[in-house]
Structure 1
Amino acid sequence: MAETGIHYLDARGPEGMRLYAIGDVHGRHDLLAAMHRLIGSELEYAPSSDWRIIHLGDYVDRGPDSKSVIEFLIQARERDPRNIMLAGNHDIGMLDFLAEPDPDGLFMRFGGVETAQSYGVSLSAGGGWFGRSDEALLRSHAALVEAVPQSHIDFLRSLVFSVSFGDFFFCHAGVRPGVQLESQNLQDLIWIRDDFLDHPGLYPQVIVHGHTPVPKAEVMANRVNVDTLAWQSGTLSALAVNGGDKRILTVQGKAY
């Protein structure tokens, strides 16, 4: 049976609207600011009647300056709501940890210690055992709750899980094959991997995502992955769409 859906080569953005989709930032404020400068210079050099800059989630954890990343995004959206921020699993994980300090959760195990450091808090799981309350974790959790501005919590709570423009559907991780795009499970949108990545069929729209790191942006018939492990590689990537013209943008910084 012939595949139905949109192939990347045929996909187009909305008429008169430039699209930019930026991959996982993970605390690399330096790279995020550099990407915005690059996009800003493009829009100034070749003005467009309309545009959207879509951030694909995972703003926090692992990298050195999650606090500044969130502040940068808050200010960008306040300047112009055409800056759109989607939720990533790490962003939701930060909210979950602030609500309840789980020593074995995503935040503690995968980069939340660095996020806390950006707010001036040393996060410790301590050495509790045999059911003892982990007092060190509770103390550092309380310090982090005190240190994170309410505006940052409000920002994390405001994140949407997907948007679509033209022939493109944007989300953090991907979609569940066989489920209509408008009916996707929120957990899949921020967590899915193999079932999505291994699916060969076309979708009604090309899926633009991050979440699964690749050495360089991955352009497939049915999806585009722009997570190039920015926090470690020093390379932040974005998809730029102008009508039928599609390009990958990158900015470079220090690798860790």
Structure 2
Amino acid sequence: MSLLYAIGDIHGQMAMLEHALALIAADGGDDAKVVFLGDYTDRGPDSQAVIDTLIKGREAGRDWVFIKGNHDRLFSNFVRHGIEHDPRVKSGISWLNPRLGGTATLASYGVTGQMHFERPSQDALETLAYYTGDSGRITKDALQRIAQQHVPQSHLDFLDELPLTYQTDDLIFVHAGLRPGIPLEKQDPEDLIWIRDGFLESTHDFGKLVVHGHTALDHPTHFGNRIDLDGGAGYGKPLVPAVFEGRDCWLLTDKGRVALTP
């Protein structure tokens, strides 16, 4: 049975990605098949370098599979369309808020400055009032135009064209999760990149083991019907890759494999 590797949410952590790829190469060689679970951008300092690395790997013929995450879409939506918000962000904060990480992502492309927000009431959406940088005080629309000048079209195209799922005989890879009781081909795309409620607490048998990220934990965890590989790299915790043989899973560490069981 062939081996398959997976890496959870990277969130702009280039040094962690390099370490994870080195662990995979040491375990399975340079030709190992790797599934990346999305959220390549935001919060960490090196989103540009992360996307560069993923694109170069694909162009070099590496056997890498990429899935889209919600933060990847948030990033693309702002640069392409000037959209600050997504209805699934219940707090109503702007993507540019450091909590979501857009400021760090733009900074990795050389767009550095200070965000100034406004929020008329707690029920209102937080919006960017203005931005101060090399061009002085500018509007959100002007910031978007600057972002479009700095972010390569190839990076946006890469993110926009990513699939939402990948599956094998034993595993379903998805960024956020699945709605129980709905066939994979009928799942709502919004659920695939955003779901928590209705999925995380479910003991539903999806037919295959679901491997996902999106919900940051202190450490990757096996829940029986699903494995959450988001170990919190977006918040500075280690990015821990995994290896699968069928439904069996091990985490890769500097000291070798560690079995991940329910």
TM norm structure 2: 0.81
Are residues 1:161 and 2:164 paired?
yes
Q: Retained in 2: the 8 A contact 1:103–1:137?
A: no
Is 1:85 paired with 2:66? yes
| Greater Cα shift, 96-105 or 67-76 | 96-105
Q: Choose from 192, 216, 221 the match for 2:224.
A: 221
* 1:100 counterpart letter in structure 2: H
Call closer, same or farther: CA 1:36–1:24 in 2, change over 3 Å. same
Paired residues for 1:44-55 under 5 Å:
44=29, 51-55=32-36
CA RMSD of aligned residues (A): 2.5
1:173–1:189 CA contact under 8 A, matched in 2? yes
Partner of 1:71: 52
Q: Determine which structure has the larger helix proportion and give its number.
A: 1
Is the 2:128–2:140 contact (alpha carbons within 8 Å) kept by the matching residues of 1? no
Determine the C-alpha separation between the residues in 1 that align with 2:128 and 2:150.
Answer: 26
Alignment of 1:143-182 (within 5 A): 143-182=146-185
- Post-superposition offset of 1:26: 0.2
Are 1:23 and 1:237, in contact at CA under 8 Å, matched by a contact in 2?
Answer: yes
1:107 aligns with 2:95: yes
Structure 1 match to 2:78: 97
User: What SS does the aligned partner of 1:195 have?
Assistant: coil
CA–CA distance in 1 between the matches of 2:85 and 2:28?
44
Distance verdict in 2 for CA 1:167–1:147, change over 3 Å: same
Shift of 1:233: 3.1
Deviations 1:188-211 (A, max 9, x none): 000000200011121111100000
Corresponding residue for residue 22 of structure 1: 7
* Number of residue-to-residue matches in the alignment: 233
Shift of 1:125: 4.8
SS in structure 1 opposite 2:210? strand
**Does structure 2 retain, via aligned residues, the 8 Å contact 1:209–1:225?**
yes
Alignment of 1:120-131 (within 5 A): 120-122=110-112, 125-126=115-116
Deviations along 1:58-77, one digit per CA (max 9) or x if unpaired, are: 00000000000000000111
- Asked whether the equivalents of residues 202 and 221 of structure 1 are also in contact (C-alpha less than 8 Å), the reply is no
SS at match of 2:241: strand
Q: 1:128 to 1:232 in 2, by over 3 A?
A: closer
Ranges in structure 2 where 5+ consecutive residues have no aligned partner = 87-93, 121-126, 131-137, 255-262
Task: Quote the Cα distance in structure 2 between the aligned partners of 1:216 and 1:164.
Answer: 23
Going from structure 1 to structure 2, the CA distance change for 1:137 and 1:170 (only over 3 Å counts) comes to same
Q: What percent of counterpart residues are identical?
A: 36
